[in-house]
Amino acid sequence: MSQKNPTKVRIELKERSYDILIGNGLLEQSGQILKNMFPRARFAIITDTNVAKFQLPRLVKSLDEAGLNHSTITVKAGEASKSFATLEQVLDELLLAQFERSDIILAFGGGVVGDLAGFAASITKRGMEFVQFPTSLLAQVDSSVGGKTGINTKRGKNLVGAFHQPKLVIADLDALNTLPKRQFTSGYAEMAKYGLIDDEDFFFWLEKNHIDIFNHSPALSKAIASSCKAKARFVIADEKEAGMRALLNLGHTFGHALEAITGYSDRLLHGEAVAIGMVLAFEFSVELGLCNSQDALRVKRHLQLLSLPTMLSDMNDVDLTIDGLMQAINQDKKVKRGKLTFILTKAIGKSFIEHNVNPDRLIEFLRKKLNS
């Protein structure tokens, strides 16, 4: 379905400013959009095996119709592709094809592809421009916006990377039609996060409208635009996460630890890890006397209603230990001079940054959760 006037969200970052376009039929319009923006560029499409099968023909047709020169680099689908090995593959193919610094990388896929392609763009020939084409809900509401790029290592998630803003984000709602329900639900967790951080009204709206969102009604477009506007506020205020932007990591310290323990495999998708992490953040806040238990239960019940995991016991097939969890948590990027930093909360919509979490209290809390 074509939409001539997509919703536009502006990320104002002076010379690095860009637009997020949200709507139906945008892949069909993308060739002309890119031709207008970059009339003399070649385009390197970086995608994964799943997106190449279901969505790539739409993008290629649009680029061909606009007369644009392009080639495609395809990586294996899944979180495991955010690795040094896959990054080396992508860089080698970019250099082999003799892409120039003035050419454009198109990150065509979910969060994994966006992070990987964006990082490749940031370091190829000391910096190429790139455009985000997020094809998953998680990428459309979160990872494609804000310029965080990178890969995982055996020491932890996203520990190698760079801040590198895209020139444009094109979020075609039609791309979500082929997304498996589990992937869609995973993305919903990141959407709910924005309400839990500082917008209780948005979380309440999600509670009332989640069925329509999952049915791909107009509520979906509204939810994505609201999420992008929320993220834009944080990115504009704190582009390189020196302060308040860290609030966007609600649930991520716990979540990233769980992803590392499961080897960044399909056993636990990113949004699923974040869902568990957000509930743990609320419950840890209750444990510390910061938040009432009713709010924590409300969050947990809403995420459970959508079949998202919310407890460590949902991972009883995984070898979770205090030592393993603490080792992964201590690798978190927010750790400063050995001090644990968590995003905690006083209520739904009232999250805050706590820079000096007592590790003994955390260990005690985790022990209770592992034994419950």
Catalytic residue among 241, 272, 283, 287: 241
**Residue 283: pLDDT band with limits 50, 70, 90:** very high
Return the SS3 of 217. Answer: coil
Please state, in angstroms and rounded to a whole number, the distance separating the CA atoms of residues 309 and 291.
21
List the one residue out of 363, 369, 340 whose CA is nearest residue 353.
340
Say whether 361 is catalytic. Answer: no
Catalytic residue among 164, 193, 210, 256: 256
pLDDT exceeds cutoff 70 at 370? yes
Say whether 182 is catalytic. Answer: no
Q: Maximum distance among all alpha carbons in the chain?
A: 62
On the CB side of 308, CA atoms within 13 Å amount to 28
Catalytic residue among 28, 50, 249, 302: 249
Catalytic residue among 167, 252, 302, 369: 252
Q: What pLDDT shows up at residue 4?
A: 61
What percent of the chain lies above the pLDDT cut of 90? 93
pLDDT exceeds cutoff 90 at 180? yes
Cα–Cα–Cα angle for 292, 293, 296, rounded to 5 degrees: 105
Q: Tokens 């834009």 identify what position?
A: 232
Say whether 283 is catalytic. Answer: no
Q: What pLDDT shows up at residue 1?
A: 46
Q: What pLDDT shows up at residue 331?
A: 83
Q: Note whether 56 and 77 are within 8 A (CB).
A: no
Catalytic residue among 126, 215, 337, 371: 126
Quick: pLDDT tens for 38-63: 999 999 999 999 999 999 999 999 99
Say whether 82 is catalytic. Answer: no
Catalytic residue among 270, 300, 302, 369: 270
Q: Considering the chain, what is the average pLDDT of its residues?
A: 95
Catalytic residue among 24, 93, 129, 148: 148
Tell me the average pLDDT across 3-10: 84
Catalytic residue among 157, 167, 231, 302: 231
Full set of structural domains in the chain with CATH: 7-178 (3.40.50.1970), 195-371 (1.20.1090.10)
Tell me the average pLDDT across 177-188: 96
Say whether 270 is catalytic. Answer: yes
What pTM did the predictor assign?
Answer: 0.93
Tell me the average pLDDT across 188-198: 98
Tell me the average pLDDT across 156-182: 96
DSSP 199: -
Say whether 152 is catalytic. Answer: no
Please state, in angstroms and rounded to a whole number, the distance separating the CA atoms of residues 284 and 290.
9
Say whether 301 is catalytic. Answer: no
Please state, in angstroms and rounded to a whole number, the distance separating the CA atoms of residues 90 and 104.
14
Tell me the average pLDDT across 174-192: 97
Say whether 207 is catalytic. Answer: no
Say whether 190 is catalytic. Answer: yes
**Residue 337: pLDDT band with limits 50, 70, 90:** low
**Residue 372: pLDDT band with limits 50, 70, 90:** confident
Quick: pLDDT tens for 69-117: 999 999 999 999 999 999 999 999 999 999 999 999 999 999 999 999 9
Tell me the average pLDDT across 141-156: 94
Please state, in angstroms and rounded to a whole number, the distance separating the CA atoms of residues 77 and 275.
22
Please state, in angstroms and rounded to a whole number, the distance separating the CA atoms of residues 249 and 345.
12
Catalytic residue among 70, 164, 245, 300: 245
Say whether 70 is catalytic. Answer: no
